[in-house]
């Protein structure tokens, strides 16, 4: 299969996403420049990587959502193509209205980089099907604005429609407040759109996809994508 990794000028996890997909997951992966007006042919999945797309001096991801490449990404997603936004990528998906809700400043008001535990809430998406059932995964987070917020109606809708892909939890899988690193409502760490082909998440699967770094829990997301593309 073939990944396309969008490079905004301030992306800084683009090369890490390439390493996870091309080297660890052994798939084709190519970079897509933010000024491009067409997508390369034959893409199966687009990654919006982490970083600070256009400096993020304005609301995170706000400027990126107006870039020329995002028009193409939105069209691709609306046609059912797989799109995964990681960290800043999740922020861009929200600003682009591909996913609902908002990502606020962390409750601590500080940037936070640490390992957290994740509970998979829905194993039937193209991004989660190969995750071992009931496994509590260890992922790293690194963000200043990852505090997921939405109206009570939307939270209910997300819960009812099983669109919350991941929740922050403790080592034993309890989705407790003490295991919530940024104040997200309902410990939400990642959500999918209605069709299930767009995933946004704050934790970084690409950072834990290489056994050389001591943890490769993240590779199961790329395994799932590969599986769903077939």
Partner 1 sequence: MDKTNSLYSEVEVNLETAISVGLTENEYLKVCEYLGRTPTYTELGVYGVMWSEHCSYKNSIKQLKTLPRSGGRLLVDAGEENAGLVDIGTDEKGKRFAICFKVESHNHPSAIEPFQGAATGVGGILRDIFSMGARPIAAFNSLRFGELDSERTKFLLNGAVSGISHYGNCFGVPTVGGEIYFDDCYFDNPLINVMAAGIVRADKVATAAASGVGNPVFIVGSSTGRDGIHGASLLASREFDEQTEGMRPTVQFGDPFAEKLLLEATLELIESGAVVGVQDMGAAGISCSTSEMSQRSGVGMKVDLDKVPLREKNMSAYEIMLSESQERMLFVFDKNKVQKAIEICNKWDVPIAQIGEVTEGGMLDIWRDGKQVCFMPADSLVLGGGAPQYTREAIKPKYIEEAKKFDASKIEPKLSTEEIFWKLLKTPTIASKKWVFEQYDSQVGTNTVDIKSGAAVLRIKELPEQGIALSIDCNSRYVYLDPYNGTKIALAEAARNLVCVGAKPLAITNCLNFGNPYDPEVYWTFQETIRAMGETCRLFDTPVTGGNVSFHNESQNRAIYPTPTIGMLGLIEDLNKTISNGFVKENDLIYLIGYTYEDDLINYNLGASQYLKLIHNDNVANITSININKELDLQRLMLDCITNGLINYAQDISEGGLAISLAEKTILSNNNLAAFVDIKEIDLTNNKYNNLLLFGEFQTKVVITCSEENALRLHDFCSKYSMDCINIGRVQKEVFEIKDILKTSKEQLVKEFNSLANIMK
Active site residues: 87, 204, 206
Distance CA(230)–CA(85), nearest Å, equals 21
Residue 146 DSSP label: -
Nearer to partner 1, 38 or 212 (CB): 212
Buried b (16+ CB within 10 A) or exposed e, 114-147: eebbbbbbbbebbbbbbbeeeebbbbbbbbbbbb
* Nearer to partner 1 among residue 20 and residue 77 (C-beta): 20
Binding residues (CB under 8 A) for partner 1: these are 9-10, 12-13, 15-16, 19-20, 50-52, 54-57, 110-114, 140, 142, 144, 204, 206-207, 210, 212-214
- Cβ at position 47, least distance to partner 1 in Å: 14
Min CB(62)–partner 1 separation in Å: 14
Q: Which residues in 28-45 are b (16+ Cβ under 10 Å) and which e?
A: ebebbebeeeebeeebbb
Q: In the complex with partner 1, which residue's Cβ is closer, 10 or 173? A: 10
**Nearest approach, Cβ of 80 to partner 1 (angstroms)?**
30
> What does each C-alpha distance from 222 to 46, 137, 197, 204, 209 come to in angstroms?
12, 14, 14, 12, 9
Least distance from partner 1 to the Cβ atom of residue 141, Å = 10
Nearest CB to partner 1, comparing residues 140 and 196: 140
């Amino acid at each position: 299969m073939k990944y396309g990794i969008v490079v905004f000028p301030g992306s800084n996890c683009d090369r890490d996403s390439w390493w996870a997909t091309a080297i660890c997951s052994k798939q084709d992966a190519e970079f897509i420049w933010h000024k491009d007006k067409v997508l390369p042919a034959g893409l199966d999945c687009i990654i919006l990587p982490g970083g600070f797309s256009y400096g993020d001096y304005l609301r995170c991801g706000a400027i990126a959502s107006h870039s020329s490449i995002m028009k193409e990404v939105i069209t691709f997603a609306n046609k059912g193509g797989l799109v995964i936004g990681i960290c800043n990528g999740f922020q861009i998906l929200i600003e682009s209205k591909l996913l609902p809700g908002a990502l606020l400043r962390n409750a601590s008001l500080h940037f936070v980089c640490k390992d957290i535990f994740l509970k998979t809430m829905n194993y039937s998406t193209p991004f989660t099907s190969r995750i071992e059932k009931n496994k509590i995964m260890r992922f790293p987070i690194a963000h200043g604005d990852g505090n997921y917020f939405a109206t009570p109606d939307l939270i209910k809708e997300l819960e009812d429609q099983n669109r919350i892909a991941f929740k922050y939890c403790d080592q034993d899988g309890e989705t407790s407040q003490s295991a919530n690193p940024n104040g997200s409502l309902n410990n939400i760490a990642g959500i999918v759109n209605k069709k299930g082909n767009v995933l946004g998440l704050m934790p970084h699967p690409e950072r834990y996809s290489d056994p050389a770094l001591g943890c490769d829990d993240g590779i199961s997301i790329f395994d799932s994508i590969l599986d769903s593309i077939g």
